[in-house]
């Protein structure tokens, strides 16, 4: 998913005005049960037993969502305004945010599952504008200690948060280089987000491959044995049939909101034969490469 690639002087001025205004504006958003509010569009829903992006992004943050279930979203409009209460041991540029402004009272701690032992005094508020295209991970807050949670939270990976704060500073303190600086920040965020998505897709495919290595009955027996041995190479006294074999196909949801068919296949390539002699016995060993490929179509 690509962010806005150009912030001209007018856009930066508008962003500056929005930052100034949103500090004085009191926004209360009505939540709708287990579905996100109407400020974002859903790209993907990850259920409790699914291997989602938060299994890979900077640790397993899915445990902080109720039942491990969450939505992958992005801003519905050009920007979404997020709020964060912090103070004490909790800094302003944290990873967890809210779409509504609230006072930092005990009710807030229960809703957001924030034990006082964590050191967040909730005395200060940060405001962050997140451009459309930045992936957000949101859902009901899971319980922590004796706080049951149940409020609505938005998680943003740490490196993306840092870049968004840098973009905020660029908008609030404009110079002659603001345009160039904003472009470089957005380019960096695009690259980081693309890498995170790619890592998750590769890891998801790897997990499927591992599962299939022990359940590939539709393949020739010699190929099945080679796959069970694991690894990217195989040696055997017997010859393997070479070629490509489809292991698995399933319909999956991608983080751009599209639905595609993920096809996992394996290809065996002959490398060489080595003949050795042990006494009067001649031993021939055949070597093969085993290459897994994942395609989305």
| Sequence-ordered list of residues with C-beta below 8 angstroms from that of 14, at least 6 positions apart, any chain | none
pLDDT of 254 above 70? yes
Residues 187, 231 within the same domain: no
CA atoms within a 13 Å half-sphere pointing along the CA-CB vector of 189: 28
CA 105 to chain CA mean position, Å: 31
Q: Which two tokens stand for residue 134?
A: 């930045």
Count Cβ atoms below 10 Å from residue 4 Cβ, excluding itself: 16
Residues 112, 230 within the same domain: no
Residues 110, 176 within the same domain: yes
Whether 52 is covered by a domain: the verdict is: yes
Domain edge (last residue) among 126, 158, 191: 191
Instruction: List C-alpha distances in Å: 107 to 78, 113, 150.
Output: 32, 10, 11
Q: Which two tokens stand for residue 201?
A: 């897709």
Least confident of 25-29, 43-47, 267-271, 290-294: 25-29
Give residue 236's domain range: 213-296
Query: 């055949």: which residue's tokens?
Result: 286
Residues 150, 112 within the same domain: yes
Distance CA 157, CA 250 (A): 28
Q: Please tell me which residue, 209 or 149, carries the higher pLDDT value.
A: 149
* 228, 213 contact by CB (below 8 A): yes
Q: What is the pLDDT of residues 162-212, one digit of tens each?
A: 999 998 888 877 777 888 888 899 999 999 999 998 888 888 888 877 777
Distance CA 124, CA 85 (A): 6
Residues 152, 291 within the same domain: no
| Sequence-ordered list of residues with C-beta below 8 angstroms from that of 177, at least 6 positions apart, any chain | none
Q: What is the pLDDT of residues 80-127, one digit of tens each?
A: 999 999 999 999 999 999 999 888 888 999 999 999 999 999 999 999
8-state DSSP, 5: -
Residues 50, 116 within the same domain: yes
Residues 183, 223 within the same domain: no
Whether 200 is covered by a domain: the verdict is: no
Count Cβ atoms below 10 Å from residue 126 Cβ, excluding itself: 16
Q: Cite the beta strand spans of 69-222 per DSSP E.
A: 70-75, 79-88, 96-97, 120-131, 136-140, 152-155
Q: What percent of the chain is modeled with pLDDT above 90? A: 38
Q: How many domains does the chain have?
A: 2
pLDDT of 21 above 60? no
Residues 219, 177 within the same domain: no
Residues 219, 75 within the same domain: no
Residues 122, 16 within the same domain: yes
The whole-model pTM stands at: 0.76
* 85, 106 contact by CB (below 8 A): no
* 138, 152 contact by CB (below 8 A): yes
Domain edge (last residue) among 158, 191, 224: 191
Whether 100 is covered by a domain: the verdict is: yes
């Amino acid at each position: 998913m690509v962010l806005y690639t150009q912030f001209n002087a007018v856009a930066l001025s508008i962003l500056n005005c929005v930052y100034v205004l949103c500090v004085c504006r009191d926004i209360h958003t009505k939540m709708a049960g287990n579905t996100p509010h109407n400020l974002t569009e859903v790209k993907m829903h990850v259920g409790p037993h699914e291997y989602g992006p938060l299994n890979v992004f900077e640790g397993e943050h899915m445990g902080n969502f109720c039942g491990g279930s969450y939505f992958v979203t992005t801003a519905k409009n050009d920007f979404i305004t997020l709020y964060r209460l912090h103070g004490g041991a909790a800094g302003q540029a944290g990873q967890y945010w809210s779409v509504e402004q609230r006072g930092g009272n005990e009710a807030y701690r229960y809703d957001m599952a924030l034990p006082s032992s964590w050191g967040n005094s909730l005395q200060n508020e940060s405001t962050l504008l997140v451009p459309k295209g930045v992936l957000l991970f949101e859902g009901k807050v899971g319980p922590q200690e004796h706080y049951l949670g149940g409020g609505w939270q938005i998680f943003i990976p740490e490196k993306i948060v840092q870049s968004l704060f840098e973009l905020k500073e660029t908008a609030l303190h404009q110079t002659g280089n603001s345009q160039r600086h904003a472009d470089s920040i957005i380019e960096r965020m695009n690259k980081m987000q693309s890498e995170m998505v790619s890592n998750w897709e590769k890891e998801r495919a790897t997990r499927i491959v591992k599962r299939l290595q022990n359940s590939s009955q539709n393949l020739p027996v010699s190929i099945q044995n080679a796959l069970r041995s694991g690894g990217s190479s195989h040696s055997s006294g017997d010859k393997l049939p070479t070629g490509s074999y489809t292991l698995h196909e399933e319909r999956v949801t991608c983080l751009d909101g599209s639905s595609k068919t993920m096809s996992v296949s394996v290809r065996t390539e002959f490398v060489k034969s080595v003949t050795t002699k042990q006494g009067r016995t001649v031993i021939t060993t055949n070597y093969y490469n085993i290459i897994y490929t994942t395609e989305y179509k």
